[in-house]
């Protein structure tokens, strides 16, 4: 894993920043006396490395939220994306734009100013420093391009007036420039770092991130080639245990291609823990996996739940792909010190620490705001959260090797270049979930089909099972152009306790009254159960296909700089 060591970065100097929204502010002190001057900073290796460290602030690396997808339920709440209320005034629309351009300005400053230290640096140092900054710049522009589409591009340090004069340019040109930055980074960055070296982005990270933006822009040939080059470095491999990869104690996994460290001591943490923790353990159980996600996990025969004879809707965790129980807490199992059981008649449960029976706050019969659909996330959640004042410090994984394998497979499928390497890439990911070698095809449901339509469905469902709760689902449903379908379906949950007992529990229909039909993308159809009065709608999701495949340009930028707004905003 290529981690950026957390150090105190130099104070941001204002001169040269491309922060378009500052046009609406008052007078600016472009060179505060307490800050470094853009005329003299980056004059030696120490200052350059401090500048580079500043590119890896957490605020500069936001992730797509699973709350924006069909994998998630947050009681009856909607987001601006799942409620179709997103506008140029939406908070994250503005903050992502502004923070990303701030980060780009810092990267541009490093690239342009590093030569002033040439007399004190070796040519290799100069190349690596520039490559580091170009890697970050390419990642930042990739985020803007994939989300906003119609963006401004510059590789220069600019003053406010110059920044305001910039106009949007063709996305094909932006993508070409992104590729050039990633290629340069891959050429000059190290493949690996020694135990005592400051770990920075690697050449493999540049190739992996290039593959990601190429795939998102549906440039499948470039995605294929970049992913293959990353694979052929033979630097990365899948972590032995899928479950252990995401917990706080796992550091420097060989699967993590690019990640940012978290540290409670340095106050760089994820702080929304209680929403994901069971109520018995002191959490709120408010942000939970959707039934849509739960039903997308295949059975152990490799078939979806509506086709597999192994699926029992009364015992929905039995005979499922191991990632199901690794991602979602199975009923009747110990979790964070308590046996988890959302059954309306389970008024007491076992507290495992002292083997006593206690009030069950994870059933809605006791706690009104217990999980609305009976599910809890398990992936990445461990007891350390409870010991650290509801903070966690597991690595923030930006991209990992499993993603490279599945991106390679997807690109090859879309190019109709189906061969054994496609099957091997998918099977490596799937076999790891079963804890076996992918060549041991009798020990797991290995993929053997070469039919393009079947493989497209397989790789989409594989991604959903593999990357749940990792921030990739939103990009997937946007790239596949299925957001208009999956986000215009309701979020369903259990009936209220009294009705649940009479209509589901008493007739022996707990947990799922019926087995829903699953489509080629792994999406379940709950409408028959709802029509029969056996489940209820918790929230009505909406997605406007006429505009939402891109975000709007922030209104402040449109008004202040005369930028062209995206269609239908």
* pLDDT value for 467: 98
Whole-number Å distance between alpha carbons of 415 and 41: 47
Structure tokens at 449: 């089909």
* pLDDT value for 300: 98
* pLDDT value for 163: 80
* pLDDT value for 39: 67
* pLDDT value for 12: 30
DSSP 283: -
What would be the CATH architecture of the domain defined by 204-261+399-480? Alpha Horseshoe (1.25)
Query: Which residues pair with residue 357 across a beta bridge?
Result: 350
Q: What DSSP string runs through 246-294?
A: GSTT--S-TTEEEEE--BTTTTB-B--GGGGS-TTTT----EEE-HHHH
Delimiting residues of CATH 1.25.40.900 domain(s) in the chain: 204-261+399-480
Delimiting residues of CATH 1.25.40.890 domain(s) in the chain: 1-201+546-569
Whole-number Å distance between alpha carbons of 16 and 114: 15
Per residue, what are the HEC states of 86-103? CCCCCHHHHHHHHHHHHH
What are the pLDDT tens digits along the chain (569 aa)? 444 433 322 233 222 233 333 222 322 233 333 345 556 788 899 999 999 999 999 999 999 999 999 999 999 999 999 999 999 999 999 999 999 999 999 999 999 999 888 899 999 999 999 999 999 999 999 999 999 999 999 999 888 788 878 999 999 999 999 999 999 999 999 999 987 777 789 999 999 999 999 999 999 999 999 999 999 999 999 999 999 999 989 988 999 999 998 878 767 777 789 999 999 999 999 999 999 999 999 999 999 999 999 999 999 999 999 999 999 999 999 999 999 999 999 999 999 989 999 999 999 999 999 999 999 999 999 888 887 878 888 899 999 999 999 999 999 999 999 999 999 999 999 999 999 999 999 999 999 999 999 999 999 999 999 999 999 999 999 999 999 999 999 999 999 999 999 999 999 999 999 999 999 999 999 999 999 999 999 999 999 999 999 999 999 999 988 999 999 99
Residues 6 or more apart from 439 whose CB is under 8 A from it?
Answer: none
CA 184 to mean position of chain CA atoms: 26
* pLDDT value for 25: 31
Whole-number Å distance between alpha carbons of 48 and 65: 32
* pLDDT value for 5: 37
Total-model pTM? 0.93
Radius of gyration over alpha carbons of the chain, in Å?
A: 25
Using CB atoms within 10 Å of the CB of residue 70, give its burial: 0 to 12 exposed, 13 to 18 middle, 19+ buried: buried
Q: What DSSP string runs through 64-90?
A: --GGGSTTEEETT---TTTBT---TT-
Task: Reduce the DSSP state of residue 349 to 3 states and report it.
Answer: strand
Whole-number Å distance between alpha carbons of 50 and 345: 58
Query: Which residues pair with residue 305 across a beta bridge?
Result: none
What would be the CATH architecture of the domain defined by 1-201+546-569? Alpha Horseshoe (1.25)
Phi and psi at residue 281, in whole multiples of 5°?
A: -90, 5
* pLDDT value for 503: 98
Alpha carbon distances (Å) from 111 to 72, 105, 119, 149, 249: 40, 10, 16, 25, 36
* pLDDT value for 37: 58
Structure tokens at 339: 């046996």
* pLDDT value for 38: 59
* pLDDT value for 388: 80
Residue with tokens 């600019």: 158
């Amino acid at each position: 894993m290529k981690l950026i060591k957390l150090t105190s970065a130099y104070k941001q100097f204002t001169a040269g920043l491309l922060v378009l929204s500052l046009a609406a502010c008052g007078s600016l002190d472009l060179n505060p006396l307490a800050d470094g001057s853009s005329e003299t900073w980056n004059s030696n290796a120490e200052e350059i490395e401090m500048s580079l460290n500043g590119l890896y602030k957490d605020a500069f690396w936001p992730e797509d939220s699973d709350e924006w997808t069909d994998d998630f339920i947050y009681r009856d709440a909607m987001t601006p994306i799942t409620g179709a209320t997103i506008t140029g005034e939406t908070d994250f629309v503005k903050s992502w734009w502004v923070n990303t351009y701030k980060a780009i300005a810092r990267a541009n400053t490093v690239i342009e100013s590093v030569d002033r230290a040439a007399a004190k640096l070796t040519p290799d140092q100069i190349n690596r420093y520039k490559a580091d900054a170009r890697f970050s710049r390419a990642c930042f522009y990739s985020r803007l391009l994939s989300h906003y589409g119609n963006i401004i591009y510059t590789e220069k340090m600019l003053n406010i007036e110059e920044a305001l004069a910039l106009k949007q340019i063709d996305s094909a040109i932006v993508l070409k420039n992104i590729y050039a930055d990633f290629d340069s980074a891959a050429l000059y960055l190290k493949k690996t770092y020694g135990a005592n070296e400051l770990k920075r982005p690697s050449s493999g990270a540049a190739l992996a991130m290039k593959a990601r933006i190429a795939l998102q822009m549906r440039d499948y040939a470039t995605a294929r080639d970049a992913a293959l080059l990353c694979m052929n470095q033979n630097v990365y491999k899948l972590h032995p245990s899928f479950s252990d990869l995401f917990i706080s104690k796992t550091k420097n996994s060989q699967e993590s291609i690019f990640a940012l460290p978290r540290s409670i001591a340095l106050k760089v943490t994820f702080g929304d823990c209680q929403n994901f923790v069971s109520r018995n353990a002191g959490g709120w159980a408010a942000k939970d996996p959707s039934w849509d996600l739960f039903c997308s996990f295949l059975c152990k025969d490799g078939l979806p739940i509506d086709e597999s004879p192994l699926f029992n809707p009364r015992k929905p965790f039995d005979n499922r792909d191991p990632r199901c129980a690794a991602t979602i807490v199975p009923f009747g199992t110990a979790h964070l010190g308590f046996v988890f059981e959302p059954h309306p008649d389970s008024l007491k449960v076992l507290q495992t620490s002292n083997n006593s029976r206690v009030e069950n706050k994870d059933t809605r019969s006791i706690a009104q705001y217990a999980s609305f659909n009976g599910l809890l996330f398990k992936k990445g959640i461990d007891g350390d959260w409870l010991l650290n004042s509801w903070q966690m410090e597991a690595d923030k994984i930006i991209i990992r090797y499993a993603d490279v394998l599945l991106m390679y497979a997807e690109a090859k499928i879309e190019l109709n270049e189906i061969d054994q390497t496609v099957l091997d890439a998918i099977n490596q990911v799937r076999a790891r979930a079963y804890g076996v070698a992918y060549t041991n095809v009798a020990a797991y449901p290995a993929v053997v089909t070469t039919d393009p339509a079947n493989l497209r469905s397989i790789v989409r469902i594989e991604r959903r099972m593999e990357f749940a709760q990792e921030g990739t689902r939103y990009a997937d449903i946007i790239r596949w152009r299925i957001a208009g379908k999956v986000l215009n379906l309701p979020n369903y949950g259990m009936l209220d306790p009294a009705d649940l007992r009479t209509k589901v529990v008493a007739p022996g229909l707990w947990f799922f009254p019926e087995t829903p039909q699953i489509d080629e993308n792994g999406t379940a159809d709950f409408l028959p159960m709802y029509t029969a009065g056996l489940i209820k709608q918790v929230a009505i999701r909406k997605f406007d296909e006429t505009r939402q495949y891109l975000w709007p340009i922030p209104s402040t930028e449109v008004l202040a700089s005369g930028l062209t707004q995206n269609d239908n905003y």
